[in-house]
Amino acid sequence: MGGRNQELALALAVNLSDVEGFVAASMGTDGIDGPTDAAGAVVTDDTLRRAAEKRLNPEEYLENNDSHTFFKKVGGLIYTGPTGTNVGDITILLV
């Protein structure tokens, strides 16, 4: 469960775990990411700490292509509702 933007956001959180002060967001401009009601997700250098507090293993969610469930438990889903446009995906990374 989850689309490519949620998967990318989770992968960024895992791969940037040693970087302080980052924020990343990835979303579909149509407001829908995969078979979910979310447009995408946002992660920060705090995302994995919140996951650890809940005893969640983000790598397992990536392996199972279940990023949506991860973000529902940890927070970070972006909801815009359908936008009526489909220009593409937007990914932003700030360090």
Here the CATH number for the domain that contains residue 13 is 3.40.1480.10
- The rounded distance, in Å, linking the Cα atoms of 50 and 54 is 7
Whether residue 13 contacts residue 50, with contact meaning beta carbons closer than 8 Å, is answered with no
Domain count, the chain: 1
- The per-residue pLDDT for 41 is 98
- 65-92 pLDDT, tens digit per residue, is 999 999 999 999 999 999 988 889 999 9
- The per-residue pLDDT for 6 is 98
- The rounded distance, in Å, linking the Cα atoms of 38 and 41 is 8
Q: What is the pTM of this model?
A: 0.93
Sequence-separated (6 or more) residues with CB below 8 Å from residue 81? 31
Nearest CA to 68 out of 92, 45, 39 is that of: 39
**Confidence class for position 25, pLDDT limits 50, 70, 90:** very high
Per the structure, the complete domain to which residue 10 belongs is given by 4-94
Q: Which secondary-structure segment (H or E) carries 94?
A: strand 89-94
**Confidence class for position 15, pLDDT limits 50, 70, 90:** very high
- The per-residue pLDDT for 64 is 96
